[in-house]
Amino acid sequence: MRRTVLCALLALSVAPHALAQGGDAAKALASAPFTIVAPFPPGGPVDTLARMLSAGLAERYQQPAVVENRTGADGNIGIQKVRDAKPDGHTLLVVPQGNLTINPTLKPSFSFIVDRDYVPVASLARTANVIAVNPAVPAKTIAELVALSKAKPDSISYASPGVGSSLHLAGELFKQQSGADILHIAYKGTAPGLNDVLGGTVPMIIGNMPSVLPHIQSGRLRPLAVTDAQRAPELPDVPTLAEAGVRGVALSSWYGMVAPKGTPEPVLAQLRQDIAQILDTPANKAQLHKQGMSAWVVEGAAFGALIQKEAAVWAPIIKSRKIEAQ
């Protein structure tokens, strides 16, 4: 009986910061534990963001908040789990852009549809993509890389974490806009491809900042350009592709949160407020910066519009290049 009373008191003694307004949505969120589904293995950006948010929600609502790394099928097993969850704001999905903007075209046979089965909560963070080469490659600029690839066809290959990944498609878009004669080599994840580039087996990689930055800093990779519209603060001396003479490739990697369709709008609004405040703490901003990411919160309908806009960018590339899921 004593334990029951203590549990009841704990449920009522929610974090004052989250419930200062006394709103019904905040009280609803404080009524049950949270599950944050990260559909990829521990250690990557998705897992980092999921754990950051779970810690923040647990502190705010004085409820357990667990991260479930439900992996498999390129993240789609975890994504489907959230689709089938109760739409009350307590089961949430942290996911990279590709699963929301690429897979609907690349893998239309999946049993879920983004627009039909999920509601956009907010984007969470973004990071630049970097075109980098093994230092043994003689090219020191993008122009030199393109010229080398044309002078020696099939000599420049690039690693990606898989067919249809955003980094694979970024490579195809770079190839299309620059005229580079480069070959794609797909790996099952970033790590094995990165290892082959570091070892010199593959000369080039298009990787996101958290993956490649430590190796750039150690001198084991040479950065040639970032694919974002602006230079990355972590690599201020590395030009954008536009600055390097290749226009039409202004893409970053980003991560977002969605909830099951039917989650009440007041609950979503409260979650958006929570997310913005959690990501804005000095400790979390420092942790993101250390990993080459920055908080980037686009909320609600605007986030949904972003998903649709990027899906419209990737669809013609997938179709014109005849890229098929493997």
Question: In the numeric block, which tokens belong to residue 94?
Answer: 């942290």
> What was the pLDDT predicted at 6?
37
Average pLDDT, the chain: 89
2-127+253-320 and 128-226: same fold? yes
Domain ranges in the chain? 2-127+253-320, 128-226
Say how far apart CA 80 and CA 274 lie, in whole Å: 24
Question: What b/e sequence results for 287-320 when a residue is b if at least 16 CB atoms lie within 10 Å of its CB, and e otherwise?
Answer: ebeebbbbbbbbbeeebbebbeebbeebeebbee
- The pLDDT assigned to 326 comes to 66
Task: List, in order, residues 6 or more apart from 62 with CB less than 8 Å away.
Answer: 10, 11, 13, 14, 15, 30
Is the pLDDT score of 313 beyond 50? yes
- Name the band, by pLDDT with cuts 50, 70 and 90, for residue 15: very low
Q: Could you report the per-residue pLDDT of 100-148, keeping only the tens digit for each?
A: 998 888 877 777 888 899 999 999 999 999 999 999 999 999 999 999 9
Question: What CATH code would you report for 128-226?
Answer: 3.40.190.10
Report yes or no on whether pTM surpasses 0.75. yes
Give 108-118 pLDDT, tens digit per residue: 777 788 889 99
In this predicted structure, the answer to whether residue 17 has a pLDDT above a threshold of 80 is no
Least confident of 23-37, 65-79, 248-262, 294-308: 65-79
Q: Determine contact, residues 227/131, Cβ cutoff 8 Å.
A: yes
Q: How far apart are CA 55 and CA 58, in angstroms?
A: 5
pLDDT digit string, tens, across residues 239-277: 999 999 999 888 888 999 999 999 999 999 999 999 999
Amino acid 10: pLDDT: 40
- % of the chain at pLDDT higher than 70: 93
**Does residue 295 carry a pLDDT above 60?**
yes
Half-sphere exposure of 18 (CA within 13 A, CB side): 29
11-15, 205-209, 224-228: segment of lowest average pLDDT? 11-15
State how far the Cα of 86 lies from the Cα of 261, in Å rounded to an integer.
9
Q: In which element (H, E) is residue 307 found?
A: helix 300-320
The mean per-residue pLDDT over the stretch 66-70 comes to 94
- The CATH code of the domain at 2-127+253-320 is 3.40.190.150
Q: What is the pLDDT of residues 182-191, one digit of tens each?
A: 999 998 778 8
